Structure 1
Amino acid sequence: MSREQAQNGSRKLLEKYDKEMRFRILKPRWQAVLVTLLAAGLSLYQLYTSAFPLFNTHPHRAIHLGVILALVFLLYPMGRKSPRDRITWYDAILALTGLATAAYVVGDFAGIVQRGTTLYNATDLIFSIAAVLLVLEAGRRVIGWGLPVLALLFLLYAVYGRQFPLDAFAHRGYTWEDTLAYMFMGLEGIYGTAIGVSASYIFLFILFGAILSKSGMGQFFNDLALALAGSSKGGPAKVAVLSSAFLGSINGSAVANVVTTGAFTIPLMKKIGYQRNFAGAVEASASVGGQVLPPVMGAAAFIMAETLGIPYSTIALAALLPALLYYLSVLTQVHLRADRLGLKGIPRSEIPRVRDVLKERGHLVIPLLFLIYMLFFTNVTILYTAFWTILVTLAVASLRKTTRMSLRDLIDALEEGARSAIGVAMACAVVGIIVGVAALTGFGLNLAQGIIDFGNGNLFFTLLFAMAASILLGMGVPSIPAYVITVTMAAPALVELGVQPLVAHMFVFYFGIFANLTPPVALAAFAAAGISGGSPMRTGWAAVKLSAAGFLVPYMFVYSDQLLLVNAGWAEGLGLAVTAAAGVLMLGAAVEGYLLAPLSPLLRLVLGAGSLLLIDPGLITDLAGAGVGVSVFLWQWWRKRNQTDGISLSG
């Protein structure tokens, strides 16, 4: 297969499972140049204003969303029968209207502030209607029907709340005019916190990822993972886990990560003997997990920091141990599956050497180290950190010819950064309508009380309902808007029951992320199945099995927040890490059904119970869990030594 055929195949796969990839390929050169100028211009504006602000909050968010809206209508066709190689006249009008909404906010900002959301005039109302309709239509084109329909239902709820059938959620109701003006004129609707974070942190870190990618960082991660783990037992699967973890943390798109990295790793896994459903599941699990892995966490950590009003470093530190435990669980199952099947790695003669990889592209690690230093060891803002990290990346990439970017490469990176931000920005704008209605009507507080009442005030049942809501809302939705919705609707219920806000946010965030793996709408797993040739549903369930730790650890850190290092010093944190890691190793063996030899169903249950005891912090539970693990290990070791006597190893 030629490189062009492979790229076409990857694009078709992305279009099938990622609506953001269904954009036009513009043939008229002037139209393509126009889009490039608009996208690159937005990236330069965002980069400049991160260090040297030009506007107040409301106008800045309006400019961000206005240009994004214009890009959506220029790049995404209205329907399947619409032209995909040129911009239609009606889309050009919609694009100009999107820009006009931003121009109106910037031009009459003082008047908008003075009138607020209640003293609006006729012109305000016209632009309010236009902005809300444009956001819903642009959201439909980019992310599909789900979120826009939900937002429309919330708008109907705001207007007809008096007739709502459930008394607990009924309210006095608002006119269409008041509701739409509220969405546009203030900072609680489409220009709320979600689009605010998109207009600042998220955009810049997506741009950072685009520049890193253009410099060859993706190839570096693949080569380094291949050099480190390629020759080990089941090496290609471990390469998939490591490279996808690195890339997933930076780019934040599980489906895109699956397609780009999986095109390389999945065929290698199949080649050495992994079954195709399992190979796809490994790539999907590793790609999704990158969004909970510091330092970048797919940019979601920044909106969490903004929402909670706590330093980003606190969130990244809290996320570190659960993320490492998750990847340790995946690696454990990958290794044990290879051991059980007798799979080998890639011959050393066919993989690069670590020294050569580091020599060629190792300098690209410097921007990541600089980012970590700025985030954790300085008191500068995240925006200032992002600004200087991007400049450092450009400077470092120029140190070697193989990573140096030409002017064309730089323009491409600026354009790609803006294009990659479109999906998140539109999802955030649509979510702004949902969150705005929740704030206007008090729906969020009523729902939180309803969840508590439904769970009868029991924390465990409330956690189950919050998990179900997070997975349901996260199906087919980007992780950031899924987090914003669930944290608005479900997290307050957990906080009301005594769960710390950071812990509650992390809980719903985890399950919103893992909706990408959970059938029936497991987009990351389905994309991986498209590459492996496996069954989408079987790949999804295999990914759930591989991600067992990701589904259990959130419950653990709710009941024992030391796992998030919230109330633990470094010494205690190290002890927690060791015991939790041992528990995850046991959990991986229990899920896989293999340790030194196949495990009987009873031993799998025993080992699984012991793993939970070790993951749960506490001296007594740690001793009990360790006792279980050591006992099972010695039992299998003894039975294996006596296998020549004809004794079954699975006993």
Structure 2
Amino acid sequence: MSAEKHKAQVDATELVAQTDTGARNLSGSLGTLVAAIAFSWSLFQLYVASSVPFWLHDVTGLKLIFNNSEVRFIHLAFGMVLAGFAYPLFANSPRYRLPWYDWLLIAAAAVSCLYLVVMREAIAERAGLPTDVDLVISSVGLIVLAISVYRTLGLPLVIVAGVFLLYAFFGNQPFLPEAIQWRGASFGKAMWHYWMQLEGVFGVAVGVSASMIFLFVLFGSLLEKAGAGNYFIKSAFALLGHLRGGPAKAAVVASAMSGLYSGSSIANVVTTGTFTIPLMKRTGFPAEKSGAVEVASSVNGQLMPPVMGAAAFLIAEFTGVGYHEVVKHAFVPAVISYIALVYIVHLEALKMNLKGLPKPPARVTLMQRLIGVLTGFIGISLLGMAVYYVLGFFKANIPGLTFPVVMAIFAVIYVFLVRIASKMPDLEVDDPNAPIKELPLASDVGKTGYYFILPIVVLIWCILLERFSPSLSAFYATMAMIFIVLTQHPLKAFFRAQDIAGTFKRGFNDFVEGMIGGARNMIGIAVATAAAGVIVGTVSITGAHQMIGELVEYLSGGNLLLMLVLVAIMSLILGMGLPTTANYLVVSSLMAQVIVDLGAQNGFVVPIIAVHFFVFYFGILADVTPPVGLAAFAAAAISRGDPIKTGVQGFIYSIRTALLPFLFIFNTDLLLIDVTFNHAIFVFAVAVVAMMLFAAATQGYFFARSKMWESLTLLLIAFTLFRPGFWLDMVEPPFHQATGTATMQMLSEAPKEEEVRLRLQGPDFDNPDKTITWTLPLTVAEGDAEARLAAAGLSVFEEDGVMVFEEPFPGTQHAEELQVFDFYGDTPVTLARTEVKAQRMARELFYIPALLLLALVIMVQRRRQTQPAF
């Protein structure tokens, strides 16, 4: 490897160390201490996630069980202590020893967190009345947290959290615009809110980090240490390397597979990019485009379920949507975005007339391969049916034996797959700059690591079939991964009739390094979620999101599309320089409710999960968007290209991802919300075609280089396939509407189970004329409107031809949704309009003219085609 290329790899690795695992490299007894603390953190998280504490309590009688709040305190203590050890505070701080001030900060971090564990009962007794010691501990804790965030993540999150903290204290100052003032908080109240209870730093975000995210990050670290990362990369190259632009297509697929367990787009870039970017350059891609492909695919990996950069669990917690539902909703947008990126790479290769890597000679005939595929498919199907019915029998008849049976099946399949792997040589990490004479056979590469898929299967089985909690599912998957790490080398040696003595040590070393690596990967996430807790805590104590909502409403002038564009831009800005989890926490806390509130005022009702996906997508795109785009800098360090040009090109490739949030906000079918299985397949197929057409339009190439009118036509066709309802709404209104007393007639005649949209108008505590739109499912059969409303806990009466709402009783079904109104003001809250879905023609009819237009474009371009389109 040349000195320049070696330097590029070192620069990229250094960037990952600075942002993910820590750039300080301590040796000797101090290095051993840091490793021991990191290992202990992973061990502690496994301990509290398991049933071992309860078993020990039953056996020993000792209180060895940690409650939810104690786990949060200890979790953050580990994170801030390791931040002090692993991350230098200043650019010129020593990298190989620990300065005296870091010892003080580490001690302060431990004391400020563990004080809450030791004094928890006393703190509970004086709720809301902090002592001087409480205030000192809280102040020290927040200061050390800010320093920990700065040293691990840089200034952006510190500045954002600091602004919110200052707003909590000084939001009542007269120099602030009156529109954003609030009454302000005393020092004691704020400190108690932020540090002494579970509303600020130790709120939901840290709780999710401690209970779920850590285990998934640990799972990914162990998977990587076992060799799965190299396996995924080589599998992708063996499958796709011979195609046009093969290395770039392989980079996309490898990043998608890495995204299954990776919690960092930057680490994803370096993990796969170190190998893929040089190969892309060697096959003809320019440096900036090579880096941009890797950046676009790696950033997309943060949107790939089931982990979604560890944000999926936070989304489930903040939206109240079940985790398995979050995974389902995220599936179609993430997959079609990756398919479109593969197609973009293909179009780039066509434009540059690139070829693939040398294909290995076929060792079998086409018929033999077909028979092999069918045999494998039938075998897997039979195995799946056997497992399903065996587990179903035990679960129905002997529930207590279900788990042992699952373990036995896992062990049998694992040993069988390891035996297959032992017949092949272990995969080595190749030098990406070495010449490739021919690609390996995909079947040969696949055999070496089929067993890596087993823990992922365990994870999906626990979540989707057994419906275990995400934390319990992650625990079982992690334990399965630990078992594989410890046993894969001894088992291979046994089947190869080799000496197994040294292989146990190798497996144990991989286990220890995976545990330490998982903890180090969590440092930034732990402190980021804690800092985001300051923002969430400020929003809860001040209602800051309402102020931002008023600003967006003023700037957008009430225009719904402009409001969404402003929210997207703000999410991009807020997400710059933040890791995935903190990114989601910041943008969702500030921007999600803005869409909900302003949408409701404009008659636009959208599921909460679609809103959170919208802001999350744009927050993640900050990783590729200049000037901050850290993933682009990591890729440029490897490709030796210009980081700004790499970021700009990466954003061009990511336009398809930026388009998706606008599409699924208006067409929730893309999130598989309330769709049948057959319809879901149809939605997926249409979305894939539409996204590929959009990619062709933005790249200016389809079957041949496109003329302007052809690109515009492709955009129109893609839009129609994505949102045929837009054209249908122009032909037929989506709702029948009624006003005044006619609203009650419409409510009486609406069929049961129909979702009726009610538009309410009245005063809130700041605005004398607030309007919201919300849906009310009718749960009783047709009849008197008053009775149907009363069944939902609502009371309405007529006054001068206007239907007036009374305040719902506290605790009833819709009391919280309507508490925005002031029911005791001079102006009543009225039912301004009722809307019921209209019976209309099928919106899919608009696909017909779109497909006819597509046929016309293809026919015209085929005349200019000079090479195969696929």
TM-score under structure 2 normalisation? 0.71
Shift of 1:637: 1.4
> Does the 8 Å CA contact 2:206/2:530 hold for their aligned counterparts?
yes
Decide which moves more: 626-635 or 394-403. Answer: 394-403
- In the aligned structure 2, how far is the partner of 1:252 from the partner of 1:7? 26
2:130 counterpart residue number? 120
Where do 5+ consecutive residues of structure 2 fail to align?
54-64, 361-437, 493-502, 600-604, 725-842
2:493 is equivalent to residue 384 of structure 1: no
2:853 is equivalent to residue 624 of structure 1: no
- In the aligned structure 1, how far is the partner of 2:854 from the partner of 2:198? 54
Residues 581 and 174 (structure 1), Cα distance of their counterparts in 2 relative to 1, 3 Å cut: same
- In the aligned structure 2, how far is the partner of 1:72 from the partner of 1:577? 43
> Does the 8 Å CA contact 2:225/2:510 hold for their aligned counterparts?
yes
- In the aligned structure 1, how far is the partner of 2:532 from the partner of 2:333? 27
- In the aligned structure 2, how far is the partner of 1:329 from the partner of 1:75? 39
Per-residue CA deviations over 1:391-433 (Å, capped at 9, x if unaligned) read 1112234245579852222111111100000111111111111
Q: Which amino acid aligns with 1:408?
A: N
- In the aligned structure 1, how far is the partner of 2:458 from the partner of 2:849? 42
Shift of 1:191: 0.4
Q: Superposition pairs for residues 49-198 of structure 1, below 5 Å?
A: 49-52=48-51, 54-116=65-127, 118-163=128-173, 165-198=176-209
2:526 is equivalent to residue 433 of structure 1: no
Q: Superposition pairs for residues 131-530 of structure 1, below 5 Å?
A: 131-163=141-173, 165-349=176-360, 350-397=438-485, 398-401=487-490, 406-496=507-597, 497=599, 498-530=605-637
Shift of 1:434: 1.5
2:46 counterpart residue number? 47
- In the aligned structure 2, how far is the partner of 1:388 from the partner of 1:83? 40
Q: Which amino acid aligns with 2:461?
A: Y
- In the aligned structure 1, how far is the partner of 2:14 from the partner of 2:176? 40
> Does the 8 Å CA contact 1:58/1:105 hold for their aligned counterparts?
no
What secondary structure is seen at the aligned counterpart in 2 of 1:428? helix
Shift of 1:5: 9.2
> Does the 8 Å CA contact 2:21/2:523 hold for their aligned counterparts?
no
What secondary structure is seen at the aligned counterpart in 2 of 1:298? coil
2:25 counterpart residue number? 25
What secondary structure is seen at the aligned counterpart in 1 of 2:673? coil
What secondary structure is seen at the aligned counterpart in 1 of 2:302? helix
Decide which moves more: 215-224 or 176-185. Answer: 176-185
Decide which moves more: 266-275 or 455-464. Answer: 455-464
Q: Which amino acid aligns with 1:419?
A: R
1:545 counterpart residue number? 652
Q: Which amino acid aligns with 1:546?
A: Y
Where do 5+ consecutive residues of structure 1 fail to align?
644-648
- In the aligned structure 2, how far is the partner of 1:138 from the partner of 1:636? 57
- In the aligned structure 2, how far is the partner of 1:455 from the partner of 1:432? 29
> Does the 8 Å CA contact 2:321/2:609 hold for their aligned counterparts?
no
Q: Which amino acid aligns with 2:857?
A: V
- In the aligned structure 2, how far is the partner of 1:373 from the partner of 1:576? 25
> Does the 8 Å CA contact 1:273/1:343 hold for their aligned counterparts?
yes
- In the aligned structure 1, how far is the partner of 2:286 from the partner of 2:246? 14
> Does the 8 Å CA contact 2:219/2:478 hold for their aligned counterparts?
yes
Shift of 1:22: 4.6
Shift of 1:638: 3.3
- In the aligned structure 1, how far is the partner of 2:845 from the partner of 2:578? 41
Per-residue CA deviations over 1:432-489 (Å, capped at 9, x if unaligned) read 1111112111112332343234323332111111101110011111121111111111
Shift of 1:8: 6.5
Shift of 1:21: 4.8
Q: Which amino acid aligns with 2:467?
A: N
Q: Which amino acid aligns with 2:457?
A: L
TM-score under structure 1 normalisation? 0.95
Per-residue CA deviations over 1:107-145 (Å, capped at 9, x if unaligned) read 1111222223x2111111111011101100111111001
- In the aligned structure 2, how far is the partner of 1:259 from the partner of 1:7? 13
Q: Which amino acid aligns with 1:183?
A: Y
- In the aligned structure 2, how far is the partner of 1:417 from the partner of 1:609? 47
- In the alignment of these two chains, the number of paired residues is 640
Decide which moves more: 493-502 or 310-319. Answer: 493-502
Q: Which amino acid aligns with 1:152?
A: G
Decide which moves more: 502-511 or 602-611. Answer: 602-611
Q: Which amino acid aligns with 2:170?
A: Y
> Percent identity among equivalent residues?
36
> Does the 8 Å CA contact 1:10/1:260 hold for their aligned counterparts?
no
Shift of 1:612: 1.6
Q: Which amino acid aligns with 1:572?
A: H
Q: Which amino acid aligns with 1:517?
A: V
What secondary structure is seen at the aligned counterpart in 1 of 2:863? helix
Q: Which amino acid aligns with 1:281?
A: A
What secondary structure is seen at the aligned counterpart in 2 of 1:490? helix
2:689 counterpart residue number? 582
Shift of 1:626: 2.0
What secondary structure is seen at the aligned counterpart in 2 of 1:251? coil
> Does the 8 Å CA contact 1:525/1:543 hold for their aligned counterparts?
yes
> Does the 8 Å CA contact 2:215/2:474 hold for their aligned counterparts?
yes
Q: Which has the higher strand share?
A: 2
- In the aligned structure 1, how far is the partner of 2:315 from the partner of 2:126? 31
Q: Which has the higher helix share?
A: 1
* Higher-Rg member (1/2): 2
Per-residue CA deviations over 1:53-75 (Å, capped at 9, x if unaligned) read 62222211010001111111112
> Does the 8 Å CA contact 1:51/1:383 hold for their aligned counterparts?
no
Kindly report the root-mean-square deviation, in angstroms, between the aligned alpha carbons of the 2 structures. Answer: 2.0
2:18 is equivalent to residue 13 of structure 1: no
> Does the 8 Å CA contact 1:616/1:622 hold for their aligned counterparts?
no
- In the aligned structure 1, how far is the partner of 2:643 from the partner of 2:86? 29
Q: Which amino acid aligns with 2:444?
A: D
Per-residue CA deviations over 1:515-556 (Å, capped at 9, x if unaligned) read 111122221122212211222222112112212210111101
Q: Which amino acid aligns with 1:418?
A: A
Q: Which amino acid aligns with 2:582?
A: P
> Does the 8 Å CA contact 2:88/2:95 hold for their aligned counterparts?
yes
2:714 is equivalent to residue 607 of structure 1: yes
Decide which moves more: 501-510 or 336-345. Answer: 336-345
Shift of 1:601: 1.7
- In the aligned structure 2, how far is the partner of 1:400 from the partner of 1:552? 46
- In the aligned structure 2, how far is the partner of 1:35 from the partner of 1:225? 36
1:646 counterpart residue number? none
Q: Which amino acid aligns with 1:24?
A: R
